[in-house]
Amino acid sequence: MTAPIETTGSQAEAQPEAVLDGVEAKKIEGRSLGQIAWTRFKRDKVAVAGGVIVILLILVAVLSRPIQSMLGLDPNALDQDLIDANTSLPKGDFGGMSWDHPLGVEPKFGRDILARVLEGSWVSLVVAFGATILSNVIGVVLGLVAGYYGGRVDSIVSRLMDTFLAFPLLLFAIAISATLQGGAFGLEGLPLHISVLIFVIGFFNWPYMGRIVRGQTMALREREFIDASRGMGAGGPYILFKELLPNLVAPIVVYSTLLIPTNIIFEASLSFLGVGIQPPQASWGGMLNQATRYFQVDPQYMIVPGLAIFITVLAFNLLGDGLRDALDPRSR
């Protein structure tokens, strides 16, 4: 056997310093789940681009009226001087595009297309966000209750979801919207149309959110922290909204981001069919409806609102996909 190597006191004291040398130069810091998700999200350049476009669209919608005032635009101002009396088409090339009317003017009426696209932006986003909030409130509450309590409660809520999903939603929305066009609930005109669209779209879309929340709740209710809450005497409402709901924020945010573009298309579809936003109020779907009469001779009028819908929906979908990957890496 070899004899153990003896070390002097100075060498023994120097060794830990050598091992720990440079530790203070770079401190190790813990990161929260939010910081980790943000780091993942920033790596996805496509999702970041979608998020930037979404922010710009929201700013444009919120500031649409000030932007119109600053540019001297009026979405309902008729300018017959820009329309050819014989053909009802805008004078000039590309739908009457000019410095005063960068996106051209409408056939027959001569209204500025840029002003009407700006005006229609806030209508679409208000309806989409309002309907999404309504769907989330109903779907999250019923999904939590069904997933946590199970049994008969789950059966009743699940059958209710199946019933709503079996409705021919578009036909039902057309019927309700057409019935309430004149006036209802003390509302009329644009406030009534927006309220009806938010109710119809939001109320009949909640089962999708409800199913997601129900499934996630059923997976979480057997976790240790829920058992600990029960053991400490916590009641059902406390567990639902203080323990389970905070752990469901990620899927709710992701699905909401993906639901907004669906609601935008739904609102545009109803306005296109004539049972949504009514003229002279500008809406992207209503502009497409009017453009169908002129698309062969004036395609500019159809391209602009169509691109507005396409870019908005695409941006929200890219943002939603990026958030899903950032908040749940297993979904990749």
pLDDT tens digits, the chain, 332 residues: what are they?
A: 445 545 454 444 545 544 545 555 555 566 667 777 788 888 889 999 999 999 999 999 999 999 988 888 888 888 888 888 888 888 877 777 888 888 888 988 889 899 999 999 999 999 999 999 999 999 999 999 999 998 899 999 999 999 888 878 778 777 877 777 666 666 777 888 888 889 888 988 899 999 999 999 998 888 888 888 888 888 888 888 888 898 898 889 989 998 999 999 999 998 898 888 888 889 999 999 988 888 888 888 899 999 999 999 999 999 988 888 888 755 55
pLDDT value for 24: 52
pLDDT value for 185: 65
Cβ pair 96, 293 in contact under 8 A: no
pLDDT value for 230: 83
Which ranges of the chain does DSSP label H, i.e. alpha helix?
9-19, 33-43, 45-62, 64-71, 113-149, 151-166, 169-179, 189-203, 206-220, 224-231, 236-238, 249-272, 284-291, 300-327
CA–CA distance, 25 with 27 (Å, rounded to integer)? 6
Please tell me what DSSP assigns to residue 94. Answer: T
Please state the φ and ψ torsions of residue 293, each to the nearest 5 degrees: -80, -15
Question: What's the CA angle centered on 294, arms 293 and 295, to 5 degrees?
Answer: 105
Question: What's the CA angle centered on 297, arms 295 and 300, to 5 degrees?
Answer: 55
CA–CA distance, 94 with 189 (Å, rounded to integer)? 33
Cβ pair 175, 156 in contact under 8 A: no
Please tell me what DSSP assigns to residue 26. Answer: S
CA–CA distance, 22 with 276 (Å, rounded to integer)? 67
pLDDT value for 181: 65
Classify residue 195 as exposed, middle or buried by CB count within 10 Å of its CB (0-12, 13-18, 19+): middle
pLDDT value for 235: 82
pLDDT value for 186: 66
pLDDT value for 315: 95
Q: Which two tokens stand for residue 46?
A: 């496509």
Instruction: Give the residue among 125, 137, 136, 169 at the shortest CA–CA distance from 264.
Output: 125
Encode burial over 288-320: b for 16+ CB neighbours within 10 A, e otherwise.
bbbbeebeeebebbbbbbbebbeebbebbbbbb
pLDDT value for 161: 92
